[in-house]
Amino acid sequence: MKPIPLAKPIIGRQERKAVIRVLKSGNLAQGTEVKAFEEEFSKVVEGRDCVAVNSGTSALHLALLSLNIGPGHEVIVPSFTFAATANSVALTGAKPIFVDIEPLTFNIDPIEIEKAVTKNTRAIQVVHLYGLPANMPDIIKIAKKYNLLIIEDAAQAHGANIQGKPVGTFGDAAAFSFYPTKNMTTGEGGMIVFADEIATKKARLLRNQGMEKRYTNEIVGFNLRMTEFQAAIGRIQLKKLSTWNKTRQENAYFYSNNLQNVLTPHITPGYEHVFHQYTIRIKKERDQVQDFLRAQKISCEVYYPTQVHKLPSFECDMELPQTLAATKEVLSLPIRPDLSSRELNFIVRILEEATKR
């Protein structure tokens, strides 16, 4: 068996052609391709306004800034996530407040959110981890009760939905990532989705030096623009997204029906999981199981080995027991849409060997 990578981008003839078309056009920086990508992406988020940027992290950061979050504010975030979720909050000058997750879904626990609300709380930044939507109905109730904004970190959840309502449409803003390992890619890239026009306008200004009209800078801004070739790739990838997600779900279904001795991912009824990661829980000797798989050239990863609030960048003195347990027990298996059934069967067999010792 050849080595089985955990994630790799699927780039085809159409993407290559699109990049060459852009290179030949001579227009490389943010222009008509970016605009078209934003309009096409808007269709998967119920027509909400979309602003393309150079990464998912930039998308989170600009989403927060455009909602006027900054110094003096607290933003509630999960600690079981990629550091960018909390970094984006800290970069605005606001304080990330870390709360625990639900053990079953790995997503932020609404009960813990409510306990963490103070008079300084301004927003909740939820993550739809691994591609499973967070409990948005309960989170929206809390946000209404305490008058809080909601930002969705949808970096891992393109196309996920709750009873047909897509992630990215529950909050005041949402951020998607197009990093090469995500369900669709532009190389590097991100998309912000907004519920209201004022925030959209502010994000467009902040993305481009604070100007809409050239050399009429209205506010102090960044350069976080997406390139035309990134957008051209994204437009093609977007067309393939739902087919890829379906194949990820089929692969997940196969694993969940065949894996033994491990806890397979929970799916809340009515929630559509798009399996950015297929993450199992192994109660004992997780690291040995990982080594066993790797020895067979099956790549598998621990997302995430460290609680974000315990990273040297945050060093918070608090305990989040469910988050801690998850860091010790999770293991993500290859779930790419281009896995063969031979590879899937092989992974099931090796994992069974690894766990029955």
Please report, as residue ranges, which positions from 201 to 220 form the binding site for ligand PLP (by CB under 6 A).
Answer: none
Single residue of 37, 45, 48, 57 touching ligand PLP by CB under 6 A: 57
Binding mask 301-320 toward ligand PLP (x if CB under 6 A, else -) reads --------------------
Q: Are 79 and 309 in contact (CB under 8 A)?
A: yes
DSSP string, 131-151: GPPP-HHHHHHHHHHHT-EEE
Q: Return d(Cα 158, Cα 211) in angstroms, integer.
A: 30
Q: Are 269 and 132 in contact (CB under 8 A)?
A: no
Helix H or strand E segment including 348:
helix 341-356
Q: Note whether 190 binds ligand PLP by CB under 6 A.
A: yes
Q: Binders of ligand PLP among 138-167, rule CB under 6 A?
A: 153, 155-156
Minimum CB–partner distance for residue 100 and ligand PLP (Å): 17
160 φ/ψ angles, rounded to the nearest 5 degrees: -65, 155
- Scan residues 67-86 and list those touching ligand PLP (CB under 6 A): 81-82, 84-85
- Which one of the spans 55-63, 68-76, 280-288, 341-349 is the region binding ligand PLP (CB under 6 A)? 55-63
For residue 339, give the amino acid letter. L
Q: How many CB atoms lie within 10 A of CB 120?
A: 12
Q: Is residue 332 a contact point for ligand PLP (CB under 6 A)?
A: no
Q: Among residues 56 and 110, whose Cβ is nearest to ligand PLP?
A: 56
Among 98, 130, 179, 244, binds ligand PLP (CB under 6 A): 179
**C-beta of residue 64 within 8 angstroms of C-beta of residue 206:** no
CB of 345 to ligand PLP, least distance (A): 29
Which of 50-58, 141-149, 212-220, 345-353 is the region at the interface with ligand PLP (rule: CB under 6 A)?
A: 50-58
In the complex, minimum distance from the CB of residue 350 to ligand PLP, in angstroms, rounded to a whole number: 26
Q: Are strands 165-166 and 74-78 parallel, antiparallel or unpaired?
A: unpaired
* Strand ranges for the chain from DSSP E: 49-53, 74-78, 95-99, 121-127, 149-153, 161-162, 165-166, 173-177, 190-194, 271-272, 278-281, 330-333
Question: By CB under 6 A, is residue 186 in contact with ligand PLP?
Answer: no
Among 105, 135, 169, 177, binds ligand PLP (CB under 6 A): 177
Candidates 353, 160, 335; CA nearest to 264 is: 335
* 322 is an interface residue for ligand PLP by CB under 6 A: no
Q: Which is nearer to ligand PLP, 174 or 289 (CB)?
A: 174
* Using rule CB under 6 A, residue 230 touches ligand PLP: no
Q: Which residue is nearest to ligand PLP (CB)?
A: 56
For residues 259 to 298, the per-residue mask of contacts with ligand PLP, x marking binding by CB under 6 A and - elsewhere, is ----------------------------------------
Cis geometry, peptide bond prior to residue 304 (ω within 30 degrees of 0): yes
CB 184 within 8 A of CB 244: yes
- The closest of 137, 159, 154 to 268, measured between CA atoms, is 137
DSSP annotation of 220: -
Q: Which is nearer to ligand PLP, 8 or 21 (CB)?
A: 8
What is the contact surface with ligand PLP in residues (CB under 6 A)?
55-57, 81-82, 84-85, 127, 153, 155-156, 177, 179, 190
